Amino acid sequence: MGSEKGTVLVVDDDDAIRRLLRRSLERQGFTVLERAHANDLIKDVAETKCDLILLDHMMPGTSGMDALAKLREVKSDAELPVIMLTGRTGREDIIRAFRVGASDYLTKPPSLSELFDRVEANILLRTRSDRLLGQYRLVRRLGEGAMGTVFEAEDTGSGVKVALKVLHNQFGRDEAVVARLFDEARVLSQLDHPHIVKCYGAGEALDAFFLVLEFLEGDNLKGQRLDVPTIAAVGRDLCLALAYLHERGCVHRDIKPANVLRTPDGKTKLFDFGVARRVEAEHTTMHGVVVGTPVYMAPERFIGEETVASDTYSLGCLLFELVAGVPPFSSRSATERLMREKSHASPRLMSVAPDVPPTLDEVVAELMDPDPRRRPSDLLVVAKLLDSMATP
């Protein structure tokens, strides 16, 4: 029978590490179970009914990462948190772990005080029905990305339903990532537009950093193919949102389907302003700094230059993908090859969707012009063109 604090399953092929973790966690009041390999992790989980797993990566037989991927097919992060505890320290390893489904990431040898905090916080945040994060009661998990988890939550003071974007604990120790979260809150809190998600602030509680956003029903547009009237309506709404944003001297820098939500009643909302910034001059150069998603980025951004027209290009890529089902350039292209491809004429929408209206084909081609000076300078005009094809 597990303790009140919870049952932790330690999966590691190193006997000494398992013994250390068992003794240390049991002194803190946890029940601890051990496994020397991850070959039967799903079966072990069913038999032990654990509350959290501490999982090594490099083990004989099934690796921790492969075992986690299989586990996530039957147990979500909300149902069973998994902390990767490994000697691998590379940022790519950390990102991959979160993409596969890790709840947190610690490197060996761990600080025991930090380990205790992470284990307790993950069990508290992910498995208890009465979990609180500051003044917010977490209701359910809405989704998860490489950097954090989004929860439906309730403000216990006002009763208002909100969405909390909570950084993964690993990134809560990264000052640059935390600063970016608060920058996102600062940028969003100054914006008030029907097609931009509202932000109510940012905070910290239980060593977790989070963003407080308006709660929205619906799905993002990643992987979706839509009919032309709906695509035109999405494009119109995003043109209006970007025109508003650009008028205030801001660029989003990460326009892509995954950062656009469509509500059940047909509203389009642009979100994820984590890499947004102000453009102090008409033309800004950021040497050595490239942020965003390469497959949707304008060619000039690969050499550290950007204007508001860089968002315009990304919008064209987004509309192309909503029609064609694939982005105009391969996401498998190496960055240099991708930059060379984008520096030449972009593929025409009609080449992959012959039945698309000529007006939409022309709009997308103009938005994706390799030369930022030739892209439409007035997105309100583009919005009117798209509105003529849009769903009422």
Q: Catalytic residue, from 56, 254, 311, 361: name it.
A: 254
Beta bridge partners of 164: 151, 212
Which of 256, 252, 257, 231 lies closest to 242, judged by CA? 252
| The token pair that represents 296 in the structure block | 């949707």
109 cis-preceded (ω within 30 degrees of 0): yes
φ, ψ dihedrals at 72, nearest 5°:
-70, -15
Angstrom distance (rounded) from CA 79 to CA 84: 16
Write b or e for each residue in 311-323: b if 16 or more Cβ atoms lie within 10 A of its Cβ, otherwise e: bbbbbbbbbbbbb
Task: Count other Cβ atoms within 10 Å, centred on residue 222.
Answer: 11
φ, ψ dihedrals at 66, nearest 5°:
-65, -40
Asked if residue 296 lies in contact with residue 255, where contact means CB atoms within 8 angstroms, the answer is yes
Beta bridge partners of 132: 137
> SS3 of 49, please?
coil
Separate counts of helices (H) and strands (E) for the chain: 12, 18
What are the angstrom distances between the C-alpha of 274 and each of 45, 179, 251, 332, 353?
Answer: 36, 10, 11, 24, 33
Provide DSSP, 335-368: HHHHHHHHTSPPPPGGGT-TTS-HHHHHHHHHHT
What are the angstrom distances between the C-alpha of 322 and each of 241, 286, 290?
Answer: 18, 30, 25
φ, ψ dihedrals at 347, nearest 5°:
-65, 145
Amino acid at site 136: Y
**Residue 254 falls in the annotated catalytic set:** yes
Active-site residue numbers? 254
